[in-house]
Copies of this chain bind each other. A is one copy, B any other.
Amino acid sequence: MDSFTPTEMTRVKRLGERGKYDRETVYGILDAGFICNVGYVVEGQPLVTPTSYWREGDHVYWHGSSASRMLRTLAKGVRACLTVTHVDGLVIARSGFHHSINYRSVMALGVAEQVTDDAHKLEALEAFVERLFPGRWAELRPVSKQEIKATMVLSMQLKEVSAKVRVGPPKDDDEDYALPIWAGVLPMSVTIGAPEPDPKLKPGVAMPEHIRNFAIER
């Protein structure tokens, strides 16, 4: 796959070796999660709202209530930043200065577009549910017209995009490796616990495969 062209805004300047611009890395990071942080400006105040997202091809999607301040603001076509971060571990060094974090992040800049066509909206929402829970969409109570109306879906083309990745052990100053100080990595990952059935679950309803074996490639 090809790469994104870094711009003045997206090029990773500090620790440039951590910057990645190839689609494989960017898509891999995006597809490993479902929570992003969306940045936008309201009356001069930058706001950062966590929300769920999904990717289809070279577009990223997010959604919510049609009454949401975040979505209504972005639907006007203002600049947005969508950031996704996975924390993989704490990097423990021999000096305070070289302590760090292992992570994979993507920052995507652009202008979002509202998905206004009901059929396209429904397709997008289906793709979101199916990505997390393959086979679930067909089992659900169908979406009502009122629900489609109450839901706003935004999409943003992935154009101005960069990834930033840190992996591996600490990088200490040469002379510090001789010190008798423990150093290494404390790995972190997201664990899925045992599914908790709704106390109001209708008796006899079996847990579907997409819940029992839920996994998101992180």
Can you list 14 A-B pairs, Cβ within 8 angstroms, ordered by A? A9-B42, A14-B67, A37-B50, A39-B47, A96-B126, A96-B147, A97-B147, A177-B200, A182-B201, A182-B206, A183-B197, A184-B198, A187-B196, A188-B192
* Cβ–Cβ contact A178 & B202, under 8 A: yes
- Contact partner of A207 (CB less than 8 A), chosen from B169, B182, B193, B211, is B182
Q: Residue A38 at the B interface, CB < 8 A?
A: yes
15 A-B pairs besides A37-B39, A190-B191 with CB distance below 8 A are A14-B64, A14-B65, A40-B46, A41-B41, A41-B46, A46-B79, A48-B107, A50-B85, A94-B141, A172-B200, A177-B202, A180-B202, A183-B201, A184-B211, A187-B192
* Cβ–Cβ contact A46 & B81, under 8 A: yes
Interface size class of A (residues with CB under 8 A): 35 or more
Q: Residue A157 at the B interface, CB < 8 A?
A: no
* Cβ–Cβ contact A68 & B14, under 8 A: yes
The 6 closest A-B pairs by CB, nearest first: A187-B193, A39-B48, A39-B46, A48-B83, A50-B85, A37-B37
Residues of chain B within 8 A of A26, CB atoms compared: none
Instruction: Provide the bound-state CA to CA distance between A40 and B9, in Å.
Output: 13
- Identify the A interface with B (CB < 8 A): 9, 13-14, 35, 37-50, 52, 64-65, 67-69, 79-83, 85, 87, 89-90, 92, 94-97, 99, 101, 103, 105, 107, 109, 125-126, 129, 132-133, 137, 139-141, 143-144, 147, 150-151, 169-170, 172, 176-202, 204-208, 211, 214
